Amino acid sequence: MTISAPVATAARAMADRALSWLHAHRALGALPPGTTEELTDPDGVYKPLGESTLAASVILRDGMAGPGQLAAAQSLMDFTWLQLRKGDMLYERQLRHTLMTDPLEMYAHFVRCGYRHAELDRLLAHRARLRSVHSVELLPNRRLAVANAARIAGLDHGEDFGALARTTWLGATPEPWAINWITAYAMTHTVFHLTDWGGRPEGLPAPLTSYVRTWLPVWIDIWREVQQWDLVAELLIVGASLSEPYCNPDDWEAMAALQHEDGLVPCDGDPVDDDPARRFKEHQHTTVVAAVAGSIALARAARAQ
Amino acid sequence: MSSRAAYAAAADELASRVLRALRGAGGAALVAPHLDSSPDALAALAAVRVIGADTFTPHILTGAPFHAADAAAVARAFEEFPVPGSGPSARPDERTAAWRDWATAQLLARTRGYVGNPVATVPPEAGDDLTDTTDWQRWSVRMAQLAPLATPCLDGPVRDAARGAALPLSRGLTRSVLRRDFPTAVRLLRWLALLRHDGIALPVDPEPVLEHVRLLGGASPRTALDLAVAAHLLGDGTHAGTTNTRGTNARSTNGNGTDPDNRADSDTSAGAGTGTGTTPHLPTEAQA
């Protein structure tokens, strides 16, 4: 299945409007004044900052957006880079916590677009040589996240992606009817990291590609039915990242139709709050996912031509 | 005036009888006593149309005799409730009912010792609705409604459609399990079990699904009957004999009840030998 015109239309609307929203509301995602590398609540603002960075970096990498949108993506990255004190904060956090992986993972999004921090590069290179670092016990899909970040950052972690893939839930090509919500997220992330967010579709081993193609329509169907839009949007990324993309126009049009006029994409079927801060807190992730999904689908459509 | 509850209860009652016969309680008439013992004659007759071709299951799968009195009782159910239209203008549910009636009629016509065949055995027109699996969700729900045709001795366009659709059936099954719609899941499992029986490769392994829905699938006698048929087709003779006893108010039939060996072999021989015949009827539950 190639990416049809209706999918491309929905993908462009999703990506453009989602990026506009992320850019327009970026100040709501700023770190509180005085934030140091000792984050008391890393998932509160710091992680979302990384997610917005991811969306902007994929849009810049894919280059499918118009000039205005590319400028907005660059501006969003500049904003998040400044929030992290041009990488100093990532450096300090990595320096203080040798075994933590989030500074590397977040840095990789910047490296993808040419942002570098020399001291952090040196620190990461040192860290990459430690057996301790490689022996930290992580869930397999998390291990893939770190391996992909290291690959982007130009660090040789010596990881065998194929072997790592086999240790994930997806790698077992398990019973497709015995999946749950959190495992579905684990599956999507396995695909994200093996394909580097749709940039290397061939990174997903052929048997896993075939398995995902077989069952993705079912999983999209059931999570659409219960309006788990955040997960559905992640599943759309998965479909767009396959070597032969699976992008069903009905799914994409449904997702695009959910998007608010200002670009927000709701995380689920519950009513969306009017308060700007709550809107950002609750729906920023889904809007990031929608932006990434749209950008990847457009890039795949362009590559197919 | 029979209530909806009375219809459902009568269908469950007949399903339980069929299940007991399948487990080897064997030999006795099925349908005639069902009609005789029911407090609601109309509901009892309707139940015969609902269970339809599955009434013949013990005969088809285990070679248990299908009595002429039973055949006559099945024929009465056809006289009581008219066969719906099945032409191109018929509604999808009418066409589904027509296929089920066709299946029952086929089996009735083959019943040894039964003379008279009040029901047309001409198949409904096979349209795109059987072979177009683009909307695999809706298509698979329909195939679940046609599960009484998932039996070894009934060839025809519905079975042909299933043979070419292992993937849509498997997706439908997976979807049903995830939605916890176990009655639909078990009916689709019957089709997959039949495909496996026919040597067709499946994208999903049916045995773990069988055990899963057996454990989670609830206690309805009709679901238990579908499960028993699926187990039988998968060569799971032991389980076919012991499926879900709690739910079926069936008494234990052990002793000579279970026949773990080669029941699947009898699938092919029984249907060919003794004829039985009749027609099916509409599904009462619509699954979405």
**Distances, alpha carbon B55 to alpha carbons B28, B67, B149, in Å:** 13, 11, 12
Those residues of chain A whose CB sits closer than 8 Å to some CB in chain B are 175-179, 214-215, 217-219, 221-222, 225
Over residues B12-38, mean pLDDT: 88
Backbone angles phi, psi at B278, to 5 degrees: 180, -170
Residue B182: closest C-alpha in chain A: A177
A141 to chain B, minimum CA–CA distance in Å? Answer: 23
Residue A210: closest C-alpha in chain B: B203
How many interchain CB pairs under 8 A, A with B?
Answer: 35
A178, A214, A222 ranked by CB distance to B179: nearest: A222
A178, A179, A217 ranked by CB distance to B171: nearest: A217
Segment B93-125, tens digit of pLDDT: 888 999 999 999 999 988 876 766 566 667 888
Segment A200-210, tens digit of pLDDT: 999 999 999 99
Range of the domain at B176: 4-273
pLDDT band at B274 (very low <50, low <70, confident <90, very high): very low
B136, B137, B178 ranked by CB distance to A177: nearest: B178
pLDDT band at B277 (very low <50, low <70, confident <90, very high): very low
Over residues A211-221, mean pLDDT: 98
B167, B175, B208 ranked by CB distance to A175: nearest: B208
pLDDT score at B203:
97
Q: B209–A175: do the CB atoms touch at under 8 Å? A: yes
Identity of residue B110? R
On the question of pLDDT at A109 being above 70, the answer is yes
Residues 177-196 of chain B with CB under 8 A from chain A are: 177-179
pLDDT band at A6 (very low <50, low <70, confident <90, very high): very high
pLDDT band at B63 (very low <50, low <70, confident <90, very high): confident
Cβ neighbours for A275, distance < 8 A, ≥ 6 positions apart: none
pLDDT score at B119:
67
pLDDT band at B265 (very low <50, low <70, confident <90, very high): very low
Q: Helices (DSSP H) in B182-220: which residue ranges?
A: 182-197, 206-216
Residue A178: closest C-alpha in chain B: B178
DSSP for B220-251 reads: -HHHHHHHHHHHHHTT-HHHHHHTTGGGGTPP
Is B287 part of any domain? no
Vertex A83: Cα angle to A77 and A86 (nearest 5): 75
Percentage with pLDDT > 70 across chain A: 100
* Cα dihedral A237→A240→A242→A246 (10° resolution): 110
Which pTM does this prediction carry? Answer: 0.89
What span, in angstroms and rounded, lies between the C-alpha atoms of B257 and B25? Answer: 6
Name which of A173, A175, A177, A210 to mutate to probe chain B: the one with the most chain B Cβ atoms within 10 A of its Cβ.
A177
A112 to chain B, minimum CA–CA distance in Å? Answer: 38
Span between the terminal Cα atoms of chain B, in Å = 28
Residue A216: closest C-alpha in chain B: B171
**Domain count across chain B:** 1
Least reliable range by pLDDT among A198-202, B219-223, B232-236, B268-272: B268-272
What span, in angstroms and rounded, lies between the C-alpha atoms of A211 and A171? Answer: 10
B177 to chain A, minimum CA–CA distance in Å? Answer: 6
Is B286 part of any domain? no
Is B188 part of any domain? yes
What span, in angstroms and rounded, lies between the C-alpha atoms of B80 and B102? Answer: 16
Report the mean per-residue pLDDT for chain B: 80
When the candidates are 1.10.3470, 1.50.10, 2.10.240, 1.20.1070, the CATH number that belongs to A5-304 is: 1.50.10
Over residues A38-60, mean pLDDT: 94
Is B282 part of any domain? no
Over residues A101-105, mean pLDDT: 98
A177, A214, A222 ranked by CB distance to B209: nearest: A177
A262 to chain B, minimum CA–CA distance in Å? Answer: 33
Least reliable range by pLDDT among A96-110, A217-231, B241-255: B241-255
Residue extents of the structural domains in chain A:
5-304
Is B278 part of any domain? no
